[in-house]
Amino acid sequence: MPTKPAGTLYRGREGMWSWVGHRITGVVIFFFLLVHVLDTSLVRVSPEAYTAVIGAYKNPLMALGETGLVAAIVFHAFNGLRIIAVDFWKKGAKYQRQMLWTVLVLWVIVMVGFSIRHLSLALGGH
C-alpha cells in the first residue's frame, strides 16, 4: 500500500486551503451574478414584474442566503487582495500565512457587522 506523502509546504496547509476557498467562493459568486443580471433585467419588462421578483429576495430564508453570499464575496475580496500582495509585494510569499489569518480575522469582523445590520433589517418588522 502506498504510504501517505509527507506534508509539504503547500499540500494540506494554509496555501492549499485558501486556494480551495477562493475557487469555491468564486464559482458561487459567478453563478449568482448570472441570476442577478437576469432578475435586474426585469425592470425592462414591467415595474410589477421587477418588484415581484425582487420581493423573493426579501423573505427570511433568502436573508440567510444573502448573508452567505456576502460571506463568500467578502472572503474572495480579502483573499484576492492577499493573492495580489503575494504576487507583487517583495515579502508577500514570506508572509502569506500571516496574511491569510489577517484575511480571516477581517472577514469575521466584517461579517459580524454585516449580519447584524442586514438580518435585523431583513427579518425586522415590516
Partner 1 sequence: MTATQIQSPRSGKDGNGRPGAGLIAPKYRRSGASKGNFEMAAWLFMRLSGVVLVVLIFGHLFVNLLVGEGIHAIDFGFVAGKWADPFWQFWDLAMLWLAMLHGTNGVRTIINDYAEKDSTRFWLKIVLYAATAVIIILGTLVIFTFNPCPLDVNGIPLPGGFCPAA
What is the grid cell recorded at 49? 414584474
Match 489569518 to its residue by C-alpha cell.
101
Distance CA 53, CA 51 (A): 6
Closest CA to 126 of 63, 43, 71, 70: 63
- Which residues from 21-60 bind partner 1, rule CB under 8 A? 23, 26-27, 29-30, 33-34, 37-38, 40-41, 43-44, 46-48, 50-51, 54, 57-58
CB hemisphere CA count around 60 (13 angstroms): 5
Q: Is the Cα torsion angle 84, 89, 92, 95 positive or negative in sign?
A: negative
Looking at the Cβ atoms of 38 and 105, the one nearer to partner 1 is 38
Q: Which of residues 15, 21, 64, 83 is near partner 1 by CB under 8 A? A: 83
Does position 90 bind partner 1 by CB under 8 A? no
Does position 63 bind partner 1 by CB under 8 A? yes
Largest CA distance in the chain: 65
| Contact residues: partner 1, CB under 8 A | 1-3, 5, 23, 26-27, 29-30, 33-34, 37-38, 40-41, 43-44, 46-48, 50-51, 54, 57-58, 63, 66, 70, 73, 77, 80-81, 83-84, 87-88, 114, 117-118, 121-122, 126
